[in-house]
Amino acid sequence: LEESGQTMYGDVGKMISVEYAQRVTDLIDSTCQIIYGGKTHKVDDRFVAPTVVEANADSNIMKSEIFGPVLAVVTVPNVQGAIDFVNTHYSSKGEHPLAMYIFSKSKEEQNQIMTSIPSGMCAINDVLKQSANYHLPFGGIGASGMNTYYGKFGFDFYSHYRGTLVENNFSTQKFDPTVWLTFPPYDGMKLFAYRCISKFPLILDNIKKVLPFVKVAIPFCAAMYLANHPAMVDMILDLNIKKILKWISLAWR
């Protein structure tokens, strides 16, 4: 773009229709201060020149999607000020953006903004590419859309997973644990059993957290043991299929 702010007609693409070009130019109202461009619009020929304006929360351009070559800028004191502005005027009203664009080299600032402002998608130090990435879920949140699509994400969204349980235990014996637990009478012992069973998923989750450490610890302990007992190494190396089969046959006698 030229420094004079005059973009030559034909340097950039046109709008889809005259009506749409008019809609975009109408967004630049009296509350906006033009910083760049905005002088060579040719609405009758669907051309809107790239324009940068300084706006505020009351500007029309801040109340609807632009979909045109007009960039609205709001001055804030710092990153937290930008977050507060968005949350006060938009997020608190359930108006979440389809995409949020963050331009910062600071990982701390990137995480601060992402954790503070809800959005359908997010691109950091770039624009639009996130919507072209087939491996990312595309979609909005709240007023900007529902759920996501692209690839498996779209398949999951438009599919209904029907939960189905098949019971093949037809026992009616009261001593059967499933019958005893399921049917009345209910007493303190059954309540205690229910509570114990309900904790199994939590216990399994905790075990899963420990498993990676166990996988490392067992080989490490085995290596330390073998280092202190060299004779065991020779015994292991001397093992063969015949000896193993012999031990199994002796164990079955």
DSSP character string of 24-39:
HHHTS-TT-EEEEE-S
Quote the pTM value: 0.59
Structure-block tokens of residue 252: 């079955």
Strand 33-37, strand 51-54: pairing: antiparallel
Span 73-77, average pLDDT: 94
Judge whether 41 and 24 are in contact, CB under 8 Å.
no
Proportion of the chain above pLDDT 90, given as a percent: 30
Helices (H), the chain: 18-26, 79-89, 107-116, 129-132, 151-157, 177-182, 188-198, 200-228, 230-237, 241-252
Span 65-81, average pLDDT: 93
Residue labelled with tokens 């005259």:
18
139: left (phi over 0), alpha (psi -120 to 50) or beta: left
Cα 36–Cα 40–Cα 44 angle in degrees, nearest 5: 135
Structure-block tokens of residue 184: 């009345």
Span 207-231, average pLDDT: 84
The whole-number pLDDT of residue 103 equals 94
Span 213-221, average pLDDT: 87
Bridge partners of residue 72, in order along the sequence: 53
Structure-block tokens of residue 115: 């954790």
Residue labelled with tokens 């624009």:
127
pLDDT, one tens digit per residue, over 17-60 is: 999 999 999 999 888 999 988 888 889 999 998 999 999 999 99
Buried b (16+ CB within 10 A) or exposed e, 99-128: bbebeeeeeebbebbeeebbbbbbbbeeee
Residues making up the chain, counted from first to last: 253
CA distance 67 to 83: 23
Span 194-222, average pLDDT: 85
The whole-number pLDDT of residue 20 equals 93
The whole-number pLDDT of residue 240 equals 66
